[in-house]
Amino acid sequence: MGYLHEGHLSLIKQSKRNCDITIVSIFVNPTQFGPSEDFNNYPRNIETDSKLLESNGVDYLFVPSAEEIYPKNFQTYLNVEIVTKILEGEFRPNHFRGVTTVVLILFNCVQPDFAFFGQKDAQQLSVIKQMVKDLKLDLKIISCPIIRENDGLAMSSRNVYLSDSERKEALVLYKSLQTVKKLISSGEKKVNFILSEMNELYSKVPSANVDYIKIVKADNFEIVDELIEGKEYFVLIACKIGVTRLIDNILVTV
């Protein structure tokens, strides 16, 4: 959705390693924002983005208007079931319907062989993979790792909303994920205990208001209450720091 940072550029670098031609689409998608969310205020700077993309060797930039994507009398939306009902889907109704619809439209416009998505939006990545699989789309989804600031904060266009004090307090997301990593490495498998240790960290941060902290199976996003050795899991967080809603996650193998 633009306002590019090093996380976005990492996707471009991966594309340039894999592909002959790299196309970037920038579109702040109105259908994935709720009525009380930040669509109108979402950071935008297409001129700076364009220069950044050109300097990073992008071949084409696709910047459609809302009227091109959703012309008058637009009526067709795409729903992926089950995985969209929990977590982000619970807190942001219709969010994933907007995501899958616009991504499918963009795929149809560009017709890529590969599409690159960051793991920071892990649930979104899972939803898009499910859509591609179910609809038998002729492209491959490539998952790219989270890019972080030097202090661990996951890069996000929304980080610009944070005040200086909130920016420091936002590090609780990364610190809590590191706590999980240590607990699991030490052999802890009880999810309730792991989550209680994480919540203890958030209780000490004045600006933090947690939407959810959950551990899910990496392959199907089923929420679990106990970890099984040899299996992969996502630990997922959505938390408001002040009025800014941030998400983060870590992929762990028990």
Residues linked to residue 250 through DSSP beta bridges, in sequence order: 235
Average pLDDT value for the chain: 96
H or E element: which one contains 244?
strand 244-253
Name the residue ranges covered by the structural domains of the chain: 6-144, 157-253
pLDDT digits (tens, 9 = 90+) for 13-68: 999 999 999 999 999 999 999 988 999 999 999 999 999 999 999 999 999 999 99
Q: What is the pTM of this model?
A: 0.94
Provide the token pair at 144.
Answer: 């790219």
User: 6-144 and 157-253: same fold?
Assistant: no
Q: Is 138 helix (H, G, I), strand (E, B) or coil?
A: coil
Domain 6-144 CATH superfamily: HUPs (3.40.50.620)
CATH code, residues 157-253: 3.30.1300.10
DSSP conformational letter for 226: B
Provide the token pair at 114.
Answer: 């590969």
Q: Is 186 helix (H, G, I), strand (E, B) or coil?
A: coil
Q: What is the mean pLDDT of each run of 10 residues along the chain (254 residues)?
A: 95 97 97 92 95 97 97 97 95 96 98 97 97 98 97 96 97 97 96 96 96 96 95 97 97 95
H or E element: which one contains 129?
helix 122-134
Length reported for the chain? 254
Residues belonging to the active site: 8
Contact 27, 69 (CB under 8 A): yes
Provide the token pair at 161.
Answer: 């909303």
The tokens 């959705």 sit on which residue? 1
Write phi, then psi, for 185 (nearest 5 degrees): -65, -30
| Cα–Cα distance, 75 to 64 (Å, whole number) | 18
